[in-house]
Each structure stands twice: as C-alpha cells, then as structure tokens.
Amino acid sequence: MESMPFNVMDHNCPSRVVLQRIGDKWTPLIFQALKGGARRFGEIRQTVDGVSPKVLTQSLRALERDGLVTREVFAEVPVRVEYALTALGESLLEPLDAVRIWAEAHAARILAARDAYDESSLRAEELTTA
C-alpha cells in the first residue's frame, strides 16, 4: 500500500521533499544522462556540461541517498565509478519526461512573456521616475 499516504499541501509533507529533489538544478540533467544505462563519473560530467566536480558529486550523492541512483566502484587502476538509475529512478523517468517535454515545448513562449513583462515594468519605472 504505497499510494497517496501524503498530500503536498501539508505543512511538512514528505512529498514536498521529493518534489524539491526533482526541481534541483542538476537532477533532470543527470537523469537524462543516465537514461540510456550506467555511466561513469567523467561521462556524466561531460554530458551535463559545465557542472563542477564538487557539485556533481553532491547531486549524485543526494540521488543515491534517496535510492534513485546506484554508485558502483570498480577496484581498477585507474579507478572506475559507474552510476545508474535504480528501478525507482527508472519509474520517475516517465513523469519527469512529461514535465521536460512540456518545458521544451513552451520555453520559447515563457521567455517571450518574461521579456514582455520586464519591458513593461521598465516603462512603468521610467514614468514614476520622470
């Protein structure tokens, strides 16, 4: 019985914690990188583009902590470390993709709205200043 034990609107609702993991700056990117199977640290770092090693480690650890990603260390020289989505992580892929696709589809419109908004509030400011 795992369905609906929590409600987002509750004060300290656990699902809010989960939502914030998802909304994390790098989480969607990492999920994209891991979509096709296990990847090495360096591969992820290149794919994600621009993330510092510290921050990438932080994000991956957080994901591992939540049981969404596994971390496997191979005792070779040089060391090889592979990350992969768990079953739970895979199950998140679908709803996450829904949001990502929406975002990709509407990003242009949103950025345009943002520009228009900034421009009009800029004009308003000029009026009060004058």
Partner DNA sequence: CCGTATCCAGCTCGATACTG
Partner DNA sequence: CAGTATCGAGCTGGATACGG
Q: Is 58 in the site for DNA (CB under 7 A)?
A: yes
Helix (H) or strand (E) holding 40: strand 39-40
Q: Is 110 in the site for DNA (CB under 7 A)?
A: no
Would you say 13 or 38 has its CB closer to its own copies?
A: 13
CA 41/CA 78 separation, integer angstroms: 13
Where are any strands of DSSP class E within 52-96?
69-74, 80-85
Query: Distances in Å between the alpha carbon of 57 and those of 13, 34, 76, 89, 120?
Result: 27, 15, 20, 17, 41
Would you say 94 or 130 has its CB closer to its own copies?
A: 94
Q: Is 50 in the site for DNA (CB under 7 A)?
A: yes
Are 37 and 86 contacting, i.e. CB atoms less than 8 angstroms apart? Answer: no
Among 2, 78, 122, 129, binds its own copies (CB under 8 A): 2
Q: Is 65 in the site for DNA (CB under 7 A)?
A: no
Q: Is 84 in the site for its own copies (CB under 8 A)?
A: no
Distance of closest approach, residue 23 Cβ to its own copies, in angstroms: 1
